[in-house]
Structure 1
Amino acid sequence: MTKKAFFITGTDTNVGKTLIAAGLLVAAKQQGLTTAALKPVAAGCEKTNEGLRNSDALLLQSVMTQSLHYDQINPYALEAAIAPHIAAQQEKRSLSVDRLSGFCRGVLSSANFTLVEGAGGWRVPLNARETLADLAKNLDLPVIIVVGVRLGCINHALLTFEAVVRDGLAVAGWVANCVDADMPVLQENIESLKVRLPVPCLGVVPFLAEPSPEQVAKCFEQAALDHLIQ
C-alpha cells in the first residue's frame, strides 16, 4: 500500500490543528491504514516524571496505530507556551530545519498514513532565518490547512493558501473547524471559502463543546478521505 504523509498547518494558533489531525488519524485507521504522527516542536509543555510533555503530542500518540516513543513524536518539547523560537532561546536550545527534518524522516516511512503537525500558523519562526514552512518545504510534504472558522477566517485562509503555494508546495485540502460557538453567518463564510479555495474541503467540523477525535473523524467526507489516502 502506498505510504502518504501530510503537513498540517493552521490559519492561526488555537484553530484546532491537533484535534483535526487526531480526527484524520482515527478516520485513516477506520479505513484499515496504519497511522503515525509527529509534533516536531511543541511550546507549552508540562513537567512530568518522564520529562516535558505536551498535551497535543500526547493526544496524537494516543490515537495513532504505531507504537512510537514520545521523543520520536515530539523531539523538541519547550516549557513556555510562547513562540517556539523565543521559548528555545530562553532554554538555550537551538531549532533548525536540518535537525527537525532528521527526526521527521525517521518516522515518515513507518506507517501508511503520517501527519506532521506544525505549531501556530505557516510562518512561525524557528530561528532568525528559518520558519516551520521551511520544514514542510524540506520534507516536500503536501499541506492540509486547518481553517479556524471565526471572524476574519476568509482572509486568513486565503493568505495561508497563497503562502503555501508560493513556497512551492501542494495544498491537499482544507478543513473548516468551527471554533466560535456564536459565529455570525457561519454557513455563508464556509461557502465563501469553498468558492475561493481551489482545493477540496475535506470536512466541516461543527462547534463541539467537548470534542473528541472520534467525533471529528465522522465529519470527513468519504470522497475526501479517498482523495488523501489513494
Structure 2
Amino acid sequence: MSAAYFIAGTDTDVGKTTVAAGLLHAAQLAGLSTLGAKPVASGCEATAKGLRNADALALMAQSTLKLPYEQVNPFAFEPAIAPHLAAREAGVALSVAALLAPLHEVLAQGADFTLIEGAGGWRVPLSDVANLSDLAIALKLPVILVVGVRLGCINHALLSAEAIARDGLQLAGWVANIVDARTSRLEENLATLAERLPAPCLGRVPRLKGISAERVAEYLQLDLLD
C-alpha cells in the first residue's frame, strides 16, 4: 500500500486531527511508513522555536518519516480564527500556489501512507479568491471525510460529499466521530449516513475520555480504503 489522502471535516472541531492521528497509527500497526502534514494552521502557540500548532505536532508524533516542523506546517498563525483572516492580519498572502511547493516535498518523501489535513470544513476560505478545497483539487488527492456526529451531521456530511464530488475528487472513505454521545437517534443517524454517503465507513470512534492515537486506531479499518 502506498497512498496519500486529504483529510477534510464536515465542520470545525469535528475531530479531524484525532482521526488523522488514529489513521496514521493504524497504518504503522500495519507495517506502513507514515507521514502527516497540516499546511495551514491557526490557533498556534508562541514558543522559543516559533509558532507551533497542536494538531500539526500530533500528526508529527504519528509520522515515521520525520520532517522539520516548517515542512509539516508551513503556514502557522497565532489567533484561532479562519485561516484567511489570520493570514490577512499577519500580512501573509495565502494561495494554492504558495502551498503546493511544500506539499509536493511532503508527498515526494514517498511514505506508504500520507495524510494532508485541511482546516475547518470543505469550503473554508484560503484567501479572497480561493478555498482550501482548491488545494485538494490541485493535489488531486482522494478525500477522507471526518463526520462529527451530532445534531445536523447528516446534512453537513451529505453537502460535503456533494461538494467533493462536484470538485472532481473521490471520496475514499468517511469516519464517524461521535462528538456528542447524547445525539438523539444515534444509531438511526449512523445508518442513514452509511446508506447515503458514497464511500465506505472506515470506523466509528466513540466519545473517549482519554483520547490518544493508539485508542482511536482501535476503531478504524484501513483495509476498507481503495
- Same fold flag (TM > 0.5): yes
Q: 1:35 aligned to 2:34?
A: yes
Question: Is residue 226 from structure 1 mapped to residue 223 from structure 2 by the alignment?
Answer: yes
Question: C-alpha displacement at 1:24, in angstroms?
Answer: 0.2
Shift in Å, 1:14: 0.1
Describe how 1:137-152 pairs up with structure 2 within 5 A: 137-152=137-152
Say which SS state the counterpart of residue 187 (structure 2) adopts. Answer: helix
Pair 1:62-2:52 in alignment: no
Please name the residue that 1:14 is paired with: 13
Shift of 1:198: 1.8
Superposed CA offset, 1:104-154 (max 9, x none): 010113111100000000000111111110000000000000000000000
The equivalent of 2:177 in structure 1 is 177
Instruction: Say how many residue pairs are matched.
Output: 225
Question: Could you tell me how far 1:185 is from its partner in structure 2?
Answer: 1.2
Residue 220 of structure 1 and its aligned partner are, at CA, apart by 1.2
Q: Which amino acid aligns with 1:184?
A: S
Rounded to whole Å, the distance in 2 between the matches of 1:173 and 1:3 is: 16
Q: Which residue of 1 aligns with 2:85?
A: 86
Match of 2:195 in 1: 195
In the alignment, which residue of structure 2 is the partner of 1:168?
A: 168
Contact in 2 for aligned 1:3/1:109 (Cα 8 Å)? no
- C-alpha distance in 1 between matches for 2:12 and 2:138: 22
Mapped partners of 1:188, 1:209: distance in 2: 24
- CA distance, structure 2, for counterparts of residue 44 and residue 77 of structure 1: 8
State the partner residue of 2:118. Answer: 118
After TM superposition, give the deviation of residue 226 of structure 1 in Å: 1.9
TM-fit CA distance, 1:99: 1.1
CA RMSD of aligned residues (A): 0.9
Q: Unpaired segments of 5 or more residues in structure 2?
A: none
Task: Spell out the pairing of 1:118-137 with structure 2 (5 A cutoff).
Answer: 118-137=118-137
Identity %: 58
Structure 1: give runs of 5+ residues left out of the alignment. none
CA distance in 1, matches of 2:32, 2:103: 19
Letter in 2 for 1:227: L
Distance, in Å, in 1 between the alignment partners of 2:181 and 2:2 is: 37
Range that drifts further, 154-163 or 196-205: 196-205
Report how far residue 199 of structure 1 moved: 0.8
The alpha carbon displacement at 1:86 in A equals 0.3
**Secondary structure of the equivalent of 2:151?**
coil
Residue-by-residue CA offset, 1:6-59 (whole Å, 9 max, x unaligned): 000000000000000000000001111000011000000000000000000011
